[in-house]
Amino acid sequence: MVVVDSHRMKPVNARHFDTYAMDSSEMELFLMREVREGDILIAMTFDEASRNLGVMAKNLLADLGSSQIQNLQFRGQWFMISQRGMKGFSPYETLKASKGGLWSPIDEHMCVPRHFDQRNVPLKPAILTNRQLVGSAMFMTPIMVIAGESLSTLTLTLETILSQPGIQPRYVVVVYNPEVIKDVTQLCQLFGFNAKATTEKEYYSFPNVSSRADLVYRVEDFPGQAFTIRMATYMKELKPNMKQCCNKRGWEGWLELGRWEREMVVPDVSRVLRRPLGSDLEPVTPLIHALFHRLRATNLEMTSPLSNADTLTSDRYESHLLELLNSSHAHVISLTKEDINACALNESTTNLKLVFDDKVSLRCTLHGAGHDRIRWHEDSMSMFWTLL
């Protein structure tokens, strides 16, 4: 064990303790008397240190910030860098169990601050060690996280994202329903991510998100309301697997466990006119209300022309999307608290429209069920990109 003066950053005491042949009482006295308030303690094991390591010694190390010393077993290797007076656990601790009765090597390199407290140390993304990737455009790709109902699961997801080398928190957006999951805003502030609240569940063909009857999109999602497929596809893929793929209502989700790498063609404005069944046949759940008890746009023209039918083949559509992405322009948007509140309090939809100049405007609408659409309007031309 090495004691370092945190003011001068110099070692002031170093001791070895044999906890294999002798008890740990001498080490316990050392920890109580020689490690003073503010001192940095560097502790590590070698050979076999767990045999006579007493409960009191483990408790003293736990008080100094260790969260793993109680798990030290035969020929396990452990090290910790901590500071007397810190609250919580030390972020600099590693425990490796023995493998096949042999010692597991530990090779760590790190910089330690003069003062550290796990509760107050800001969370930072993992360092990008591959210098060839510095400045790569992939680290500026937006990441959207759609929160479910479990805060602990969301926390694990955010931890995983933050541990990716080179990640930039300002490009991570967490979308959540405040009526379903709480404290997401505070959690995102801890990670440095952006939190966006939405209480509406959107699909498509609502007047404020779908407006062009001549547009058709190639998507991986399943519309689930009404559709046309080949009889051979039904007989070969759907009929033998109805219980597995299609046992629920179509709009609740079909083909969830495997879509056989299929893609769907979906119009911007729905061509399905749905009549409500009535509350006696269809209970008005929040999902039913959000999907069907609101004004919807429906295209009833049987001969409605399509403007982009020639681009719907797989290769051409991929090329079309790449062209749109490559021709896009980056705009930095600064939102005030009033903008966010106005967006969240809108009763019809979580909708925010920002005008950059007299020709270009951006309308961002947040959707439930795993959808986010960003619609550009420029000189009467529009496009959208859907994240699934």
Q: 177 versus 29: which is more confidently predicted?
A: 29
Residue 124 lies in a domain: no
| Percent residues over pLDDT 90 in the chain | 14
What does the alpha-carbon distance between residue 97 and residue 227 come to, in Å, rounded to a whole number? 56
Q: 296 versus 79: which is more confidently predicted?
A: 79
pTM: 0.35
Predicted pLDDT at 377:
33
Question: Residue 351 — pLDDT band, cuts 50, 70, 90?
Answer: very low
Per-residue pLDDT of 132-188, as tens digits, reads: 888 888 888 888 888 888 888 888 888 888 888 888 888 898 988 777 787 888 888
Residue 77 lies in a domain: yes
In a shared domain, residues 191 and 142: yes
In a shared domain, residues 46 and 92: yes
Per the document, the length of the chain is 388
Residue 168 lies in a domain: yes
Range of the domain at 178: 131-197
Q: Are 96 and 104 in contact (CB under 8 A)?
A: yes
pLDDT above 90 for 56? yes
pLDDT above 70 for 90? yes
Q: Residue 212: which residues within 8 A CB-CB, separation 6 or more?
A: 268, 269, 382
Residue 280 lies in a domain: no
Predicted pLDDT at 81:
92
Task: Provide the greatest CA pair distance for the chain.
Answer: 91
Q: Mean pLDDT of all residues in the chain?
A: 74
In a shared domain, residues 20 and 82: yes
> What would the mean pLDDT of 220-232 be, rounded to a whole number?
72
> What would the mean pLDDT of 240-269 be, rounded to a whole number?
69
Q: Residue 192: which residues within 8 A CB-CB, separation 6 or more?
A: 122, 123, 169, 170
pLDDT above 80 for 223? no
Among 270-274, 277-281, 294-298, whose mean pLDDT is lowest? 277-281
What does the alpha-carbon distance between residue 157 and residue 340 come to, in Å, rounded to a whole number? 24
Q: 114 versus 240: which is more confidently predicted?
A: 240
Q: Among 50, 76, 96, identify where a domain stops.
A: 96
Domain count, the chain: 2
pLDDT above 60 for 63? yes
Residue 285 lies in a domain: no
Choose among 74, 86, 122: nearest CA to 6: 86
The structure tokens 């896009």 sit at 328
